[in-house]
Amino acid sequence: MPEIPELQHVAQVLTTQLAGRTVTGVDIQQPIVIRLPREDFEAGLLGARFRTVRRNGKFLLMETDRDSVMAVNPMLNGRFQWIDGPDGTRKTHARTCFTLRFKSDADGEGTDSEFGIRYIDERYLGKVYLVDSEDLDQVPVLSEQGPDALDPALDQGAFLKRLKRHRGQVKNTLVNARFIAGIGNAYSDEILFQAGIHPFAKVSGLDEPRRLRLYESIQETLDWASSIAAEEIGNRIDRKPRDFLRVHRKGGQPCPRCSRPISEVSPNRRITSFCRNCQPE
């Protein structure tokens, strides 16, 4: 599942590449991910010009000059991939859901070479919406989530206040978008390792110093990972580098701190990786 570090960079790359470009073609291969009639999706995008792309939680919000937003929730496997162009591919992909083609109107003539982008989703679990900007609060999940984990307004005090409302396991709380948005299975493991907190510890059992450490670890881990992800992804926005992670999916490997084997368990079919020595119960 793409999370803040990958999606933050993807949003920046998409803004750089798509801002000012006009959609010249819309080709829908798997309409199951598109949460509106295909003819409305096509008509809403064809001829539109993208302005900017921003991230909110795990959503990519692609704003157009029609005061509309294509809101993309990639879920587990959704991702964009360039086709043609220096960073693209001409190979087909069996799990392509839709393709957008563009030209640049920078010179008013559209003389720049055309290129495209496609949305791929191996499990067809992602959801794509096209709504008026003023109706973003009607997009499911997006409308229900808490503040973004990197929202400047989510300072230490605001975080602690929200945390007081939760009593369950700390990892479950971190991945709950109603608490804070943008953290998933992988980076919750990394955050808790950084904080030295056991993933199955109860929030209600965390004392004030550990709650503060959890807040700090969220900021530290996401900043650290975002920098590395940006470097490794570059313009290849279909990549999801995770090899640099310290504990997630590293079960049996030595802990980077104490060298003891990293534990890995799968309650509720969700892999959780942690060090029993560095993250005691």
Read off the pLDDT band of 177 (50, 70, 90).
very high
Q: What is the pLDDT of residue 110?
A: 47
Q: For 139-153, what is the mean pLDDT?
A: 97
Q: Enumerate residues 6+ apart whose C-beta is below 8 A from 183.
A: 3, 4, 149, 174, 175, 191, 218, 222
Read off the pLDDT band of 103 (50, 70, 90).
confident
Q: What is the pLDDT of residue 265?
A: 97
Q: Is residue 85 over pLDDT 80?
A: no
Q: For 8-19, what is the mean pLDDT?
A: 97
HEC letters along 201-215 = CEHHHCCHHHHHHHH
Give tens-digit pLDDT for 55-74: 999 999 999 999 999 999 99
Q: In degrees to the nearest 10, what's the CA dihedral of 252, 256, 258, 263?
A: -30
3-class DSSP assignment, residue 72:
strand
Average pLDDT, the chain: 94
| Percent of the chain surpassing pLDDT 90 | 89
Read off the pLDDT band of 86 (50, 70, 90).
low
Interatomic CA distance for residues 24 and 87, integer angstroms: 20
Please, what are the domains in the chain?
4-138 (3.20.190.10), 156-274 (1.10.8.50)
Read off the pLDDT band of 92 (50, 70, 90).
confident
Read off the pLDDT band of 11 (50, 70, 90).
very high
In one letter, which amino acid is 2?
P
Supply the DSSP string of 242-269, one letter for each residue.
-TT-SSTT-TTSBPTTT-SBPEEE-GGG
Q: What is the pLDDT of residue 262?
A: 99
Supply the DSSP string of 43-62, one letter for each residue.
HHHTT-BEEEEEEETTEEEE
Read off the pLDDT band of 109 (50, 70, 90).
low
Q: What is the pLDDT of residue 256?
A: 98
Q: Is residue 38 over pLDDT 50?
A: yes
